Amino acid sequence: MAPSGTSVLVRGVRSTADGIRVVPTEPDRNGTVRVTVASSGICGSDLHLASYGPSAVTLGHECCGTLDDGTPVVVLPPVSCGTCDRCLEGNEQQCGTSLGAMYGITLDGGLAEEVWVDPRNAVPLPGDVPLTHANLAEPLAVALHGIHRAGVTEGMRVLVIGAGPIGLCTIAAARDLGVEVDVAAHRASRIEAGERLGARVAAGGGYDVVLDAAGTQTSVNAAVDAARPGGTVGFLGNFWEPVTVGLGFQMKEVALVPAFTYGHHHGTSELEEAARLLARTPDLYDTIVTHHFPLEEAAEAFRTAGDRDADAIKVVLHP
């Protein structure tokens, strides 16, 4: 830690008037602990945030690293109050404070050499999780939360729409529960990735639960069509554009269940659960992470992540 009265700058990735750049930043160290970043993934939301233009916030909410004492940790992005009724029930993702305080969104994030976080947000990793893989714990926790919210249990017929990082994490999490999963995606390479994780190619309809990991009007329509009457559609993908639902979901009495980030399930932190799942699913990292870049090549990493022709699933930066 820097001596009192001194200022130590940290390289971080920000959206600037000249595009994505690695710039010197001065973190807010008050009341926080340092995480020396080992790896940080680029999320689709990072691409959307960058498209909005210049920002004074360092991007990145899928990050892991070590504390100054060597403890390996994954960063929990939302900073909840810990005292409201939502937090006390284990639904920190619904906390009014956390909605406006997230690392990589409104607070400096982990696409950097180091990130300073509330001590509660530095979550220790199990010893059998490789530190280089732990950046996937965050999107995997999103998948687990969506599965929990939708009430997926063994014996159900389940379809995952979309085979990006969240969709593939959803397949892995559902298979870990012993659930048979089908996958629907536009690109053959993504379907093949889903098959490597144990999914089958979608066939017909009548699914008990459909998990929409794409977040588009097309995927919403497909999800409602594929669900059986009285079934459930769970939404895991972020909707960056408004969508509509037609008469079909009402006539079939399909339950529409949104999911946002993650919290606790039956008293267990879903982020911690995701970290343990990573250890049980060794093929997940190599299936999802298709590109690696050093921090100084952040601009090229973002270009690759947003280039459909590159067919990148998950792009990861290493300081």
CATH number of the domain residue 104 falls in = 3.90.180.10
Residue 188 belongs to a domain? yes
- My answer on whether 97 and 200 are in the same domain is no
Taken in order 3, 4, 8, 12, the sign of the CA dihedral is positive
Domain that holds residue 86: 10-124+282-318
Residue 5 belongs to a domain? no
Residue 104 belongs to a domain? yes
196-219 average pLDDT score? 96
- My answer on whether 63 and 151 are in the same domain is no
What tens digit of pLDDT does each residue of 290-303 get?
Answer: 999 999 999 999 99
Distance set, CA 199 to CA 154, 178, 182, 214, 223 (Å)? 14, 12, 5, 17, 17
- My answer on whether 108 and 194 are in the same domain is no
Number of domains, the chain: 2
Taken in order 288, 293, 296, 300, the sign of the CA dihedral is negative
The CATH number covering residue 173 comes to 3.40.50.720
Here the tokens at position 18 are: 């000249």
Residue 277 belongs to a domain? no
Residue 1 belongs to a domain? no
- My answer on whether 15 and 99 are in the same domain is yes
Alpha-carbon span 150 to 81, nearest angstrom: 26
Q: Residue 7 has what pLDDT? A: 67
- My answer on whether 105 and 58 are in the same domain is yes
- My answer on whether 153 and 83 are in the same domain is no
Judge if pTM exceeds 0.85: yes
- My answer on whether 153 and 252 are in the same domain is yes
- My answer on whether 155 and 232 are in the same domain is yes
Q: Which of the 8 DSSP states describes residue 308?
A: G
Which of 258, 290, 309 lies at the terminal end of a domain, its last residue?
Answer: 258
- Judge whether residue 213 has pLDDT over 50: yes
What tens digit of pLDDT does each residue of 144-175 get?
Answer: 999 999 999 999 999 999 999 999 999 999 99
Residue 49 belongs to a domain? yes
